[in-house]
Amino acid sequence: MRVIFVVVGCSLLFFVEFSIYNLFDNEFVPNLLLIFIVFMNLYAGVRFSILAALVAGMLRDSYSIDLFGMHTLAFIGCAYLTTIIKKYIYRKGSVSSRILLVGIMLSINFFLLLIFHLMVLEVSPVRLMTKVFLPQLAVTLILTNIVLELLRSCAIKLSA
Note if the pTM is more than 0.75.
Answer: yes
- What pLDDT was estimated at residue 70? 94
pLDDT tens digits along 4-17: 999 999 999 999 99
The confidence band for 141, taking pLDDT boundaries of 50, 70 and 90, is very high
Of 42, 28, 47, 150, nearest to 102 by C-alpha is 42
Helix and strand counts by DSSP (H, E) for the chain: 7, 0
Instruction: Flag whether pLDDT at 1 surpasses 90.
Output: no
Instruction: Flag whether pLDDT at 73 surpasses 80.
Output: yes
92 DSSP assignment: T
**Are residues 136 and 83 in contact, defined by beta-carbon separation less than 8 angstroms?**
no
Alpha helices (H) in 45-133, listed in sequence order: 46-62, 70-89, 95-120, 125-128
- What pLDDT was estimated at residue 121? 84
- What pLDDT was estimated at residue 53? 97
**Are residues 101 and 82 in contact, defined by beta-carbon separation less than 8 angstroms?**
yes
pLDDT tens digits along 78-131: 999 999 999 999 888 889 999 999 999 999 999 999 999 899 888 888 888 888
Taking the C-alpha atoms of residue 124 and residue 28, their distance in angstroms, rounded to an integer, is: 19
Q: At what angle do helices 46-62 and 32-44 cross, to 10 degrees?
A: 160
Q: Kindly give, in sequence order, each residue whose CB lies less than 8 Å from that of residue 51, ignoring residues fewer than 6 positions away.
A: 3, 6, 40
pLDDT tens digits along 18-36: 888 888 776 788 999 999 9
**Are residues 146 and 13 in contact, defined by beta-carbon separation less than 8 angstroms?**
no
pLDDT tens digits along 36-59: 999 999 999 999 999 999 999 999
- What pLDDT was estimated at residue 27? 73
**Are residues 55 and 10 in contact, defined by beta-carbon separation less than 8 angstroms?**
yes
Taking the C-alpha atoms of residue 16 and residue 3, their distance in angstroms, rounded to an integer, is: 20
Sketch the domain layout of the chain as residue ranges: 2-159
